[in-house]
Structure 1
């Protein structure tokens, strides 16, 4: 069964998609109880030990439609322990069981502020938006793909895709039905090895940046993390400090040698974030999270 979209349904669709774009493109907080999404029916973790959830909604304007918004464990957080990484918005899928016709594609493009090109998985820009028809047996399915224009507060590239079904050649109405819409952030794909390399690069950059600040005993810590203490004898200490906490004195004898020793004025250098503490090896000592 199909039908012509009503003015009230069109407004509900625009509100829904506008709210999704606020979350995906403008990086606004996701509030699953926002009525623009509909009524929250479920929120399920889809990968054990990670923060990502799929939120499923029932929208009264389209009661038979599937409305899902998924969050993923933040791919831009390079921590190795993924159980400590927060979730970020990633993927939205709207699928109509009974597709509406007379949906104005140009209006959707305008209201969602979509560009006249798209970016493929290989990162290459493709001008135009008409992808053409799908392969058999879905030869009447017509796809349109877009890169959303960056908003004022946008932080991530966003891809949008519309799925329409053209009328049959012998259908005198010539109607076109909207079947699906997908919206997703174009996050980079990182393997555990790639994340490890990114962490090392990030820590090295911070170490260099903070090294120029001459952070020594008695100065405030600029960022919560694990810091390495140095004296004239070299690297002798490691401690966790919170942002704003005053850097302590440094052991005069290396921690690896054990035992008590006099504490002296020393310098502190960035080692790693607190989330990376567990498993980090410093001078043969495995730090405990």
Structure 2
């Protein structure tokens, strides 16, 4: 195997990895047209009825390499309707089908700002060397890292470097870089767990905004669906945009139907606009 990395390839590699870390760790916006990734070749949706896609690139510095960045539905958006949730970066893979020699692992550790420990689920493990693989892949050698947190990062990031050790009869002693993966460590949530988180979040917002005495004539602090109250209890429900002035409240409960006088009342958080569709309020199913 004779495929030494060139200076121009090293610059392209560091530029690519730097851009990926900006997106994955520093939470910079993803621009699939950014030339640091290469030329966008495809964007394939891989989860039906959810946001997200796998972007595949062709990078001229590494024409035979697999370069992919995958996004998926934001796990911290607890909305039940996943089609309305935005996509967020999830994973990156750079696979050199023809492995590169001359890539310094210590240099990658420094440039990517990687820690001297790794995560095994929720357990911290000191060190990064996972050792060589099992036969017949005993030359494959993996190193796993938790990236040091960025100033604007929202999620932990894990990095894995895969090298090929030289065979015993290779006098060059060269080590080849085969693969780099970079993943965000998102929390795993089932639909039931999301529902519980959503209820907790709405209850917290309802309590927080409740202390603000949000009544007719005051500006709305957050776009969402709000519940109107009078001295007779909750009588109204309405969607308001952030900054919009809260309206008067029905004097007769909406569930009773018909027109009625509107009076000064208070407004309490009910749910986000993404959660409006299908939300049950006093026996009424709200429409999105």
Q: TM-score normalised by the shorter chain: which range applies?
A: over 0.9
Matches within 5 A, 1:76-155: 76-121=76-121, 123-155=122-154
Deviation at 1:259, TM superposition (A): 1.3
Per the alignment, in what secondary structure is the counterpart of residue 215 of structure 1?
coil
Residue 112 of structure 1 and its aligned partner are, at CA, apart by 0.5
Task: State the shift of 1:136 in Å.
Answer: 2.6
Superposed CA deviations along residues 16-57 of structure 1, whole A, max 9, x for unmatched, are 101100000011111111111111111111112222011111
Name the counterpart of 2:282: 283
Give, in whole Å, the separation in 2 of the partners of 1:152 and 1:213. 32
Counterpart Cα distance in 2 of 1:2 and 1:198:
53
* Structure 1 runs (4+) greater than 4 angstroms displaced: none
Q: Residue 192 in 1 paired to residue 195 in 2?
A: no
Q: Is 1:48 matched up with 2:48?
A: yes
Distance 1:241 1:154, change over 3 A: same
Shift of 1:58: 0.7
d(CA) in 2 for partners of 1:260 and 1:144? 68
Does residue 158 of the first structure (1) align with residue 157 of the second (2)?
yes
Tell me, yes or no, if the aligned pair for 1:237 and 1:250 is still in contact at 8 Å: yes
What residue in structure 2 maps to residue 35 of structure 1? 35
Aligned residues: CA RMSD: 0.9
8 A Cα contact 1:219 1:246, kept in partner = yes
C-alpha separation in 2, matches of 1:57 and 1:132: 30
Once the two structures are superposed, the pairs formed by residues 136-285 of structure 1 within 5 Å of their partners are 136-285=135-284
Question: Which stretch of structure 1 is more off in the superposition, 44-53 or 83-92?
Answer: 44-53
| Partners of 1:2 and 1:99 within 8 A in 2 | no
Deviation at 1:137, TM superposition (A): 2.1
- Unpaired runs of 5+ residues, structure 1, are none
Give the drift of 1:108. Answer: 0.3
CA-to-partner distance for each residue in 1:151-180, whole Å, 9 max, x for gaps?
122221100000011111122111111110
CA distance in 1, matches of 2:156, 2:89: 12
SS of aligned partner of 1:99: strand
Find the residue that maps to 2:98 and give its secondary structure: coil
Count of aligned pairs: 288
CA distance in 1, matches of 2:10, 2:244: 54
Q: Give structure 2 stretches of 5+ with no counterpart.
A: none
> C-alpha distance in 2, partners of 1:2/1:94?
20
Contact 1:9/1:61 (CA < 8 Å) preserved in 2? Answer: yes
Give the superposition deviation at 1:2. 4.1
| 1:226/1:240 contact within 8 Å kept | yes
1:266 and 1:36 map into 2 onto residues whose CA distance is 55
Alignment partner of 1:3: what SS? coil
Report SS of the residue matched to 1:221. Answer: coil
**Is 2:3 aligned against 1:3?**
yes
